Structures are given as C-alpha cells and as structure tokens.
Amino acid sequence: MPNQRVVIIGAGAAGLASAWHLLDADSTLSVTVLETNSPGSGSTSRSIGVVETQYIGDFDIAVRAYGRRFFDMLSEKHDLRFVRTGYVRLASKESDFADYKLSIARQNAHGVHDACVLTAEEVEALIPQISMAGRLGGLYGPSDGYVDGHLYSALLTQLVTEMGGTVVLNAKVTEASQNSDGVFSLATSRGNFEADIVVNAAGGWAGKVGDLLGAPVPLIPQRHSAAIVEVGADLANMVPMVMDYVPGSGRPGLYFRFERPDQLAAGLHIEEPVDEPADPDSYIETGSDEFVLELAEQLSERLPHLANAGIGRSWSGIYPMTPDHAPIVGLHPDNPAVICALGGGGNGIQLSPAMGRAVAETVVNGVVTRLGEHNPWDAARLGTSQ
C-alpha cells in the first residue's frame, strides 16, 4: 500500500540495506531508520566485512551471489571500496572436494563463474606464507573480497537520504505501543515516531527490541573477537581471505585476510552459538587474553613463514545468532505489523542485501518470492520454535 510509514530500528547493515531496497522498490513509502548511536556503530563496524560465495548449499550461494552483485553495483556506481583479495575455504577431508565441485556448479548457475578448486600445492603457491599441514586444498573465489562496514553504512545512509528516506541518529527506542488499528507509536530520545510497519533490524539488540515490540525473537547474542596481525614487513602478495573453520565441528576455526601491506586481520569463526548469550549493552569490547593466545597459536601453525608477526590491537563485537543458525526475515507470526531482519550471525554484511530485498518484497508485495519456496529464513518458523 503506497504511503505506508515504515520505521526500521537499527542503522546497521541489515537495517540500511532494508531501507535502500524499500525505497528502490516503492519511492512512495515513508521510510525512517532509527539508530541509537551512529550508522554501523554496532556489529557492522566491528566486522571484517567479508563478501564471498564459497558455500555449498544452493540457498546459501544464491543469497551471497545477490549480495556480491549489490556490492559490485555500489563499487561501480558509488565508489564503495570493495577490496578483492579473493577467498579460500580450506578442505579438511577428501569428501570436501565433491562438495566444492557442487558449489562451483551452483555458483555458475547463480552468475558467479570464477570459483575453482585448488590442490594443497596450489594454495601454497597462491599464499607462500601458509602451511597446508592437515589440509588437502581449497575452494577459491578470486573476485571475493571485503568492504569496510563503517563506510558501507555511511554510503547507504547517504543513498537512503537521497532517495527520500530519513535516518535519525542518537534515537534509541525506549517505549513502543500499538493502537487498535495496529499503528505503532515509538518513543525515542529524539521524539515520537508512528509506524504502520516496524522492521526489527537491531542486530545484537534485536532480542530486546523484539520484546519491546511484543514480537519476541529467539536471538542468542555471541561475543566474538578479531585482531590486527602486525606482519613486521610489507607482504609481497595480497593474502586472500582464508577460512579454516570446519562447519559443524563445534570448534572455532581460524580466518585471516589482507588488511594492508604490513597487516592482516584475523579471528576465530564459528557459525554455532556455543557460549552463553552476551549482553550487547555491557560486553567487553576488547579481545580477551584467552582469545589472543588461541589466535596466536593457530596463526603460528597456519602461517609459520611469518616468523616476525605479532598480535596488535583486538576488538570484540556481537554475532546475533539464532538457534537454527539461520537469519530470521519476514512477518513476525505474532504481529504482522512487525517485520524481522535479524540473526545474520557472523555473515551480516554479506547477507544484508538479500535480507533487505526480502524486507522490501514483504512490504511491497506481501510475500517473499525471490528466496524460493523453501526459505530457511522465513520468520513464520517462529510460530513453532518459541
């Protein structure tokens, strides 16, 4: 319905991508984004910003391929810095290669045509600093890379404003009420806002926001850390993003990527909620001593040829995870005036374009079509999981 008032809570990757897609789909919509601090100031600015398509499942690849095209567009039309380091997902067992061949076929079907399988020797030739001990090869996407979460958020804020939307900063939502017509009244530190539709895109705070809206979500905020690795001398090559996490293993795996000639960005990744939920309002924002020690140990094993490297500054952010490890996107089953766009976990930036498009389809068309008939993100599953 034209002229609907849509208020999005959260100016991170998911919230701003939702605003952009809403205005791109229907310029008559009234779109307002409310942000407690500044654009991307939550998990988005603390991410290492990877954008890649090296997954196995067809759905996982499809949503990431769409994201890649969106970031390509922002890079080409709006000068977003998209650093194409490449991305290597390491193989830990022989059966991985059959999965990787399937991934390549699916990537081709979704318009990504440069992925390939590398032997262990080819990975070592690509990354002279690496040791492939215990690893058999990798799935390589040469045109994958990363963006800066803060710059991404700043650009989307600018574009949303130019498209007729409004982004209100320092506007924490403190109260929410809904009248008999379903219209929300949202009280914030910057005044009151009315909305026909509210989008919960609050990242690590989405659980608290869901409770405030009377539309609860089973979010499990997980504190994760990353660090800068001081290499000690300029690298002779741009080190691709390397992911050494084994999905389903229950154990964090090492990742690292080029940051600048004398630095890598690195951390430990896992796509399962294994720790106690973190409070996004009070978690420790630096990396713990235990994290730094484990990271240093894994780096020394995987990058033994960087003998002079050392861990520099570290920081922490929130992975907003869900019990089934999938984002929650779409109409909340308890309240059709609330749309969820949350739970991206450690993949929020690269998934944000597809999440935003799904929000726009929900508002404009009443149904999400481009995520397929068996959409694992569908918020309808909340009706059976809570």
Q: Beta partners for 178? A: 184
Domain shared by 248 and 374, yes or no: no
pLDDT attached to residue 271: 82
What torsion, rounded to 10 degrees, do the Cα atoms 128, 130, 131, 132 define? -100
Tokens of 267: 């951390």
Among 271, 286, 320, residue at a domain's last position: 320
Residue 1 scores a pLDDT above 80 = no
pLDDT attached to residue 249: 75
Share in percent of the chain as helix, strand, coil (round to 5): 35, 30, 40
Residues 230-272: tens digit of each pLDDT: 998 899 899 999 999 877 777 889 999 999 999 999 999 988 8
Domain shared by 138 and 227, yes or no: yes
Domain shared by 227 and 215, yes or no: no
Tell me which of 82-91, 301-310, 335-344, 352-361 is least confident: 301-310
Residue 370 scores a pLDDT above 90 = no
Phi, psi values for residue 163, rounded to 5°: -85, 0
pLDDT attached to residue 384: 54
Domain shared by 154 and 286, yes or no: no
Domain shared by 249 and 113, yes or no: yes
CATH of the domain at 358: 3.50.50.60
pLDDT attached to residue 2: 52
Residues 79-96: tens digit of each pLDDT: 999 999 999 999 999 999
Domain shared by 228 and 353, yes or no: no
Domain shared by 96 and 176, yes or no: no
Contacts of the segment 207-215: beta carbons below 8 A, 24+ positions apart: 208/280, 209/9, 209/10, 209/173, 210/332, 210/338, 210/340, 212/173, 212/175, 212/176, 213/176, 213/184, 213/335, 213/338, 214/176, 214/178, 214/334, 214/335, 214/338, 215/332, 215/334, 215/335, 215/338, 215/340
Residue 386 scores a pLDDT above 70 = no
- In this prediction the pTM is 0.96
Residue 106 scores a pLDDT above 70 = yes
Domain extent for 128 = 84-143+221-320
Q: Does the residue 78 lie in any domain?
A: no
Q: Does the residue 330 lie in any domain?
A: yes
Among 263, 296, 320, residue at a domain's last position: 320
Residues 270-308: tens digit of each pLDDT: 888 888 999 999 999 999 999 999 999 999 999 999 988
Helix (H, G, I), strand (E, B) or coil at 127: coil
Q: How many domains does the chain fold into?
A: 2
Pairwise CA distance, residues 343 & 362, whole Å: 17
Least Cα distance to 345 among 329, 367, 360, 358 occurs for 329
Helix (H) or strand (E) holding 302: helix 289-302
Domain shared by 91 and 239, yes or no: yes
